[in-house]
Amino acid sequence: MIFCIGETLQEREAGLTTQVVERQVKEGLKAFRIDDIRHLVIAYEPVWAIGTGKTATPGQAEDVHAFIRNLMARLYREDVANVLPILYGGSVKPDNMAELMAQPNVDGGLIGGASLDFDSFAHMVMYDKKD
């Protein structure tokens, strides 16, 4: 199961990103048990970056991903949070993928519009974070 969360531009500009994300996680996962979390993928997909061509900076993405991982450690357990895949979605393209994926808490990309171009998508599918 993929659970998508993210803030609007107005929420980001008001400094509410972590509060919005925390509320979404707590509300969206309140019925989940720890065994359910083991089968979960979280995608941080800021609403302001969906299909707009705008992308969170690598630092912005890392800050939110680290916040999500720490929140999940508090709500569930650290060992579960440490292996929980947290993807970044929001105008991921071949030209920004490497920088985004270089962040320690960004485990992969949730590719949207860029998947419609074969060459772009093939490049991203072949990307290996370990390289």
Predicted confidence at residue 128, as pLDDT, reads: 66
pLDDT recorded at residue 84: 97
CA distance 109 to 101: 8
Would you say residue 130 lies in a domain? no
CB of 5 within 8 A of CB of 24?
yes
Domain range spanning residue 78? 2-125
* Rounded-to-5 percentages of helix, strand, coil across the chain: 50, 10, 35
- The mean pLDDT value of the chain amounts to 90
Range with lowest mean pLDDT among 66-70, 88-92, 111-115: 111-115
The total number of structural domains that make up the chain: 1
Residue pLDDT, tens place only, 4-61: 999 998 999 999 999 999 999 999 999 999 999 999 999 999 998 887 767 789 999 9
Give the CATH number of the domain where residue 9 resides: 3.20.20.70
Predicted pLDDT at 100: 92
Query: How far apart, in whole angstroms, are the C-alpha atoms of residue 99 and residue 36?
Result: 31
- Compute the distance between CA of residue 125 and CA of residue 68 in angstroms, rounded to an integer: 25
